[in-house]
Amino acid sequence: MHIGLIGGIGPAATDFYYRRLIATFARENAALELTIAHADTPTLLINLSNNDAAAQTAIYSRLTKRLQSAGAECVAVTSIAGHFCIDDFKAISQLPVVDLIAEVSRVIETRGLKRIGILGTRTVMETRFYGRICQCGDYSAKWA
């Protein structure tokens, strides 16, 4: 499967995804097909602070078309903060979207976890974005 990443709006997260994909595919002795499209951090932060999901979704859609043209068969947004409009994006995306929160929720429920700890940047934690995780156990946002 050719994977498309919308990266750059969290360079460390993009690097994390990239390294984990390389390791996973190497372990499986499989060829990794991957294309990364760069999104702009300052633009994302403006759209997030303005809660402008439509503007950020339009950016993701444009980048997804580029990834699709490169052969990608699915797309993931590597920035957690960038998921603030993920539902809107999934509704219009030309490719299947890997939804970080849905995947984390699935793992939490599968493992039967009742209490989890989450670390995040102030920006992400203030959005209460993680409150969408499976509505299980205790949730409270804390940051330093």
Assess whether 8 and 57 both reside in one domain.
yes
- Quote the number of domains for the chain: 2
Assess whether 55 and 81 both reside in one domain.
yes
Here the contacts of 124-133 (C-beta below 8 Å, separation 24 or greater) are 124/80, 124/81, 127/48, 127/81, 127/84, 129/80, 129/81, 129/83, 129/84, 129/101, 130/101, 132/101, 132/105, 133/101, 133/104, 133/105, 133/108
> Taking the model in full, what pTM does it have?
0.81
Assess whether 130 and 85 both reside in one domain.
no
pLDDT in tens, 86-129: 999 999 999 999 988 888 888 888 998 887 777 666 666 665 56
Range of the domain at 67: 2-98
pLDDT in tens, 57-85: 999 999 999 999 999 999 999 988 888 89
